[in-house]
Amino acid sequence: MACDCMHIPHRYDDSLSTPLDLLPLPNGSWGGKIAYLDRDGVLNKGSENYINNPDELVILPGVPDSIAALRESGFRICVVTNQSPIGRGLWTSENLDSIHEKMRMLLLEENSNAHLDLILYSPYPPWYGAWARKPNPGMLEAGRQIITAAENNDEINLKFGPEWINRPDESSSVMVGDRGVDMDAAFNFGVRGLQCDPEKGLPDVISMILGD
């Protein structure tokens, strides 16, 4: 794994190196597609003052069905979210875990196939220049490697930046975000980026992904 000086991603509810348990996709085997999704303004309503606790979390209309549609089309789902309040000392990673636990619960309550395979976050403030913080591609790099290792029953041996060679083709994958930093992260990683309306979120671009 790359040195800590790169400020690598963190993973919801587990360490980066812990094997990931994946639920089967609804329609068969995985062909390598990943939907990398920002969180605020894509899955839930965003706020200029952050989402500070589970009670402030509001899932955008149609998001659970859109996630389910992605999974039915063979996509694994990887959330990649900047969460600098942790690095700023405003609240803890345990608080963020409680928000993500609530998010998963709300999604599955509305659609039982709206499962998030992996949630990664960057706890660092902007001045760290962290590799994990979008517009840098560290979270997307980790997401690809963790999901691929789980699908192949391999050990996780993460590489970042120039250490990671022989990268897989991302032409069938997509990154969805509501801001320019998300699109920059997509560009820096080499995956197609789609910017959505933050008032509509993922459903705003789902037809562009699925080709409907």
**Nearest-angstrom CA–CA distance, 104 and 129:** 29
Catalytic residue among 4, 14, 21, 40, which? Answer: 40
Point out the catalytic residue in the list 4, 13, 14, 38. Answer: 38
Distance (Å, rounded) from C-alpha 110 to C-alpha 63? Answer: 9
* Other Cβ atoms closer than 10 A to 123: 21
Q: Exposed, middle or buried by CB within 10 Å (0-12, 13-18, 19+), for 110?
A: middle
Name beta bridge partners: 135. Answer: none
The neighbour count for residue 131, using CB atoms within 10 Å, is: 21
Three-state SS sequence of 83-118 = CCCCCCCCCCHHHHHHHHHHHHHHHHHHCCCCCCCE
Active site residue 40: yes
Q: Which residues contact 49 (CB under 8 A, 6 or more apart)?
A: none
Catalytic residue numbers?
38, 40
